[in-house]
Structure 1
């Protein structure tokens, strides 16, 4: 069979939407009718159990933000502080597509349980860490398990829901993912500021939630084995070990370069240049290995490169990046204040995410959601860019609400569309592909916005306080140099605050760019209905 024939067989023809009834005659191959076999309350509990892992994964992705100062107070080793965030992101981002491939080979239930155990083990190590090194290892283990839980959640939902139902359920995944992502710093800060709980409970709480849902994991999750008749040992032979190694190596170097650049290392530092060079070289080798199927086959290669022949999959990847970027904007407030400020944004994002899922399931159209979502996020981002020290709270709430409406409209839509655009046996590949875009959106937006803020704020403060050392000015920006700030004259304080706020406004350029990407990307989509005609009667 030729490569082109294989690609058509695997459902990647961009002109064909694989959601017709005939395709789903053998629906048991990919779908398990769990819903009809259990009571409605139990089904709700099963779905809540699956989605709880997504919430914990996204929460842990950002929970470290407000916990770091307390960790350094107890464990020391401030020079390794950057690794607390990077270790989690490295382990999760570099293994997403590997997890997706594993879910296409092994039992979804047992892979999911295994990833939960990894995540809980990493959380336990973080909570009880006696040293900074132990803490970093725990974060890496939790990130590895968290990526498996997230892909497992998407896979299990694709196993137990029809194509028509899926937008609704993906909207709930978006709700849990977006809420966890935004609330991470708030929850972490709340624990770290409480003398009774301390920062360690920011990680121990994962163990409590996991233990509460454990009976559902073992007794009620669908087995979801896509290759029931193949011996367990034979399944391992299908893995693309060379591709896995190259993928992890490339992502590790590049994510370190992105996160350390401008923070731990100067952009022109030799170590930073080395990371970019090694990462780029390994990425090139990975691309060649996947393209020419070196040490693997078309079906077994780790990255679903055949998706790159589909225009729609390029667009969905880019717009998931944009959606993830739109979620990341918070001010440097105390945890409780941040929670109050974020509440309108979260509520509107959740509401429009659920509305998106319900209406897509009923009417089938997806293109208008990207267009309208892009318009709202662009307007909201542009308004936030105009914020000054004189701006009122009502303005901040109103502008954030506009961004929340826009982000909610397409925050999780790409998962449903991608899975509907490929054949039913490629659902886990599609989930991993879009999850990679989502995770990269988080990594890039945080790194870029952080770098922009730091550099712009530093430039502004150096013009106001030219005789103050650079490191002291960085302390004022991050909040650790409060003594210096408090000793400044009132007029100088006002200038410093204005410079920092102005630097913060530049980060909203990313939201404007993300919204514009959604608008432009939507114009490359077809105005078609895919969820209604492809519904499967349950």
Structure 2
């Protein structure tokens, strides 16, 4: 602010916001400083160490979802119980989606670090139980215990990123976490199958492997993770515990489990393995599901106060952007789960591939998926407009799903891998962008209600978690029902044509266990019938991808065309009178002199800091300076000075 002789320092203009300094000495333009970012006091090396720990946990989480895909035959040989075999895989995903909302309530008041460490102990205990299981029921229980831990830890990872990552890097960080989860999903069948086929190890090591991986992350989290609680009122921990919607949590878990059981019962009824009894059982399960769902809806609508309800965060789905991105994420997750589980089954039956060879055929899928996730996360902050990413992803998913409807037993492998990559690219573009988009739309003005802003961010993490794991769990339950029904119908038609197949043979063939009917010296007619049935069943499951792609495309078209700001909001340094003798508060990434630390400048920075002073005007002693540098504001009229 230059000194004007016509205005005495004792007579300020009504719009003056700063004090005049004697002799016209330069001073920093005062700007209101926002609340410090939670990561401001975290050293960079600790941030990277925690990212490594979170990436490791995400890989482990994805691995736990799929590590039983290629060891179910070994588990069946060890314990039998064909009727429970599908729960070895399904229990983990279903329990995850059942526990996620309760985990969100815990993050509302508990320390993040403590929750993460305790959750990892549950994962270790569940892995040990499943690995040492004396029966198939213990494996299912161990998988449920692991899901209890991962439902909290993955919520913690997403919440940690949303709170501690800067807005311009959140999309990329979430994309990397999503890519790590995908890597774990593909490593599950490969590593599990390798253990099952090893002469020196058994299928049990597919579960034991999780223990050392989790232990490494436990040490990193214990040493470097900062303690953090959501800012809130003076309530005690016990008061928060009492306010948790426990009844809603029980109903939510019941609805999730009954849905999965009902889909399995319908699949068994369609397979006709149990005669009319299977149909009665399916009808009874779906009746109980309807009652539980109705009770859950009534309880959430009127049984608890709005802020205490288990699904209170779902109220944010009223926002158009939140709803449409949530739908796209759930559709992408459903497509991912079905493609991951049923593509190796097709190759195993039609090409005679073992567990490792069948899983290796997924490499184009995984490569395209990871590349799309990382690329989308990196490009979104620069593009700013998010709708084209979702629309392109939906179009690619639709194209790949339509191409997979041409599936035949003799379809060329290169073409199938190209279709896989097309689906994967579409899924990857929609996988993790929802959190970054919705978080960027939150106000970032440094308001007084910081706790409400953090609550909003955690709600978005919950919705993303529900969309991803819920989409996978629901799609696998429905796909299992479709696979059993369509495959059994095709095999029954072959049996009526003269192929000798019993109901038990049909179930064993569809389950992929080591049936003697699939031996190399088996009946060629049976082998042809099995290959045709599995191809029909897998193609029917891939119709789920077609529906998900269509839903995703509709949601993308319904999105607003808006540009978002993913850069952190700049706050200039505010120094006291006397040339900066007071304390200084800066936004993250800004030095005390107001510079951007090498980051790209925005319009405000350009006007205030980057343009050179007008030549030949003023003197060094009377020039306005911002961050210690001359500013073009020195020659503006006094009223304009005072508005700065």
**Cα–Cα, structure 1 residues 54 and 101, in superposed 2: closer, same or farther, change >3 Å?**
same
**Structure 1 equivalent of residue 318 of structure 2:** 309
Q: Number of aligned pairs?
A: 510
1:219-271 deviation digits (Å, cap 9, x = unpaired): 21121211475433333233222222222222222232234431389796333
Is 1:269 aligned to 2:279, yes or no?
yes
Going by fraction, where is helix more abundant, 1 or 2? 1
What's 1:102 paired with?
Answer: 106
Aligned to 1:369: 389
Deviations 1:159-209 (A, max 9, x none): 210222110111011101222223322222121111222111111111111
Query: Per the alignment, do residues 79 and 254 of structure 1 end up closer, same or farther by CA in structure 2, a change over 3 Å counting?
Result: closer
Question: Which residue does the alignment assign to 1:14?
Answer: none
Match of 2:513 in 1: 480
Distance apart, 1:280 and its partner CA: 2.5
Equivalent pair of 1:325/1:511 in contact (CA under 8 Å): yes
Deviation at 1:489, TM superposition (A): 5.3
Q: Which moves more between the two structures, 67-76 or 125-134? A: 67-76
| 1:237-256 equivalence runs, <5 A | 237-256=242-261
CA separation of 1:416/1:258 partners in 2, compared to 1, >3 Å: closer, same or farther?
Answer: farther
- 1:396–1:79 Cα change, 3 Å: closer
Which residue number corresponds to residue 16 of structure 1? none
Q: Is the 8 A contact 1:472 1:481 kept in 2?
A: no
Q: Which of 313, 331, 342 lines up with 2:344 in the alignment?
A: 331
Deviation, 1:406, is 1.2
Where does residue 35 of structure 2 map in the other structure?
26
Aligned twin of 1:3: none
Q: Which residue of structure 2 aligns with residue 73 of structure 1?
A: 77
In structure 1, the partner of 2:327 is 318
Does 2:478 align with 1:448? yes
- Structure 1 residue 132 displacement after superposition: 2.7
CA gap 1:481/1:160 in 2 versus in 1, 3 angstroms: closer
Q: Does 1:470 align with 2:503?
A: yes
Match of 1:288 in 2: 298
- Which consecutive unaligned segments of at least 5 residues does structure 2 have? 1-30, 349-353, 443-452, 571-587, 590-644
Gaps of 5+ in 1: 1-21
Shift of 1:83: 3.1
Once the two structures are superposed, residues 337-385 of structure 1 have per-residue CA deviations (whole angstroms, 9 ceiling, x without a partner) of 1232111111111011101000112222221111000111111111122
CA distance in 2, matches of 1:412, 1:77: 38
Q: How far apart in 1 are the matches of 2:287 and 2:373? A: 40
How far apart are residue 414 of structure 1 and its match? 1.8
**Structure 1 residue 299: deviation in Å?**
2.2
C-alpha distance after superposition, 1:456-484 (max 9, x if no partner): 22222222232532321332333336432
Report if the CA contact (8 A) 1:65-1:185 is conserved. yes
**Hey, what's the Cα distance between the residues in 1 that align with 2:54 and 2:269?**
37
- State the partner residue of 1:18: none
Whole-angstrom CA distance in 2 between matches of 1:458 and 1:275: 21
- Which structure has the greater CA radius of gyration? 2
Report what 1:178 is aligned to: 182
CA contact (8 A) 2:91 2:143 kept: yes
What residue number does 1:390 align with?
410
* Alpha-carbon distance between aligned partners in 2 of 1:495 and 1:273, rounded to the nearest angstrom: 30
When normalised by structure 2's length, the TM-score is: 0.74
Which of 199, 202, 223 aligns to 1:198? It is 202
Is 1:147–2:167 an aligned residue pair? no
Instruction: For residues 285-307 of structure 1, give each alpha carbon's deviation from its aligned partner in whole angstroms, at most 9, with x where no partner exists.
Output: 22222222x2x432222212422
- Do the aligned residues in 1 keep the contact of 2:73 with 2:512 (CA within 8 Å)? no
Contact 2:332-2:427 within 8 A present in 1 as well: yes
Residue 76 of structure 1: CA displacement?
4.3
Deviations 1:421-459 (A, max 9, x none): 454422122211221122221122222223223322222
1:497 is aligned to 2:526: no
CA contact (8 A) 1:93 1:439 kept: yes
Cα gap change, 1:350/1:495 in structure 2, threshold over 3 Å: closer, same or farther?
A: same
Q: How far 1:312 sits from its partner (Å)?
A: 2.9
CA distances 1:80-110 after superposition (whole Å, capped 9, x unpaired)? 3333234323321111111112112211111
Gap change, CA 1:119 and 1:23, over 3 Å in 2: farther
CA distance in 2, matches of 1:534, 1:255: 43
1:346 alignment partner, one of 360, 366, 376: 366
2:465 aligned counterpart, secondary structure = helix
261 and 51 in structure 1: CA distance in 2 versus 1, 3 angstrom threshold: farther
Cα displacement (A) at 1:490 = 4.2
Measure the CA separation in 1 of the matches of 2:526 and 2:295: 53
Matched, 1:457 2:487: yes
Aligned-partner Cα distance in 1 for 2:137–2:525: 44
SS at match of 2:109: coil
Looking at structure 2, the residues matched to 446 and 62 of structure 1 have their Cα atoms a distance apart, in angstroms, of 11
What does residue 527 of structure 1 align with?
561
Q: Distance in 2 between matches of 1:391 and 1:82?
A: 28
SS for the counterpart of 1:357 is: helix
Contact 1:415-1:430 within 8 A present in 2 as well: yes
Q: In structure 1, what is the Cα distance between the partners aligned to 2:420 and 2:481? A: 22
Give, in whole Å, the separation in 2 of the partners of 1:407 and 1:262: 27
1:61 maps onto 2:94 in alignment: no
Q: How does 1:403-422 map to 2 (within 5 A)?
A: 403-422=423-442
**What is the RMSD computed on CA atoms of the aligned residues?**
2.6
Alignment of 1:201-216 (within 5 A): 201-216=205-220
The Cα shift of 1:216 comes to 1.2
Corresponding residue for 2:379?
Answer: 359
Pair 1:503–1:248, CA change in 2 (3 A): closer
8 Å contact kept, 2:189–2:359? no
CA distance in 2, matches of 1:491, 1:300: 60
Structure 1 residue matching 2:181: 3-state secondary structure: helix
Structure-2 change in CA distance of 1:354 and 1:322 (3 Å): same
Aligned mates of 1:70, 1:499 — CA distance in 2: 23
C-alpha spacing 1:473/1:27, structure 2 compared with 1 (3 Å):
same
